[in-house]
Structure 1
């Protein structure tokens, strides 16, 4: 298979988190993002999947009822950490903690080039990473 694009991984299409209480998770993320989920299936009153479009590229952020998690998924935080760019990492981290998330990895400066990371565990057991990333800002500036 050949593609016109030279990159194998062309960009994040959707990130999926899991939750036992779908309505609480939907509402928590709606408060965090400042917008309602644009898609809820099978219904708003009993969702098994909800999705938000967030960020500069309207990235898809999905929440799936944990009953549909892959069989091998371990309980509790783990796996890869997707780091979302934020302009002010201290304010973003503080807001997450104020909304009930728990610190997973503290705010950490990564060298002297402006990269700073942190992560939390949301109230539903998922790791949410945040980062101030100068490369992201530079790439976004090229697109704008």
Structure 2
């Protein structure tokens, strides 16, 4: 059902400062550099910076589990007691994301890439 955590998104308040820190940490240039999202890829890991994350309720980094069927996975998490933080939405080119909080307030993200 899941392919593992391949994406971690950090909510950031100062995008330029965050870019400097993560650029130094990862040692690579971003593959996406827009005012609403900056993304890095390093060793198969996708690290994103979201300047709107705090406004969307993100309180810390969100690990995104890559899944085949985001709606089925989201329904299963909600049935198990998770609480919706962000319902399924398309973030571009058919990529779908959603996020929930578990009973302890931990954030869990789901990500479904478009079918090839």
Calculate the TM-score normalised by the size of structure 2: 0.49
User: Comparing both structures, which one devotes a greater share of its residues to strand?
Assistant: 2
Determine which structure has greater relative contact order: mean sequence separation of CA pairs < 8 Å that are 6+ residues apart, divided by chain length.
Answer: 2
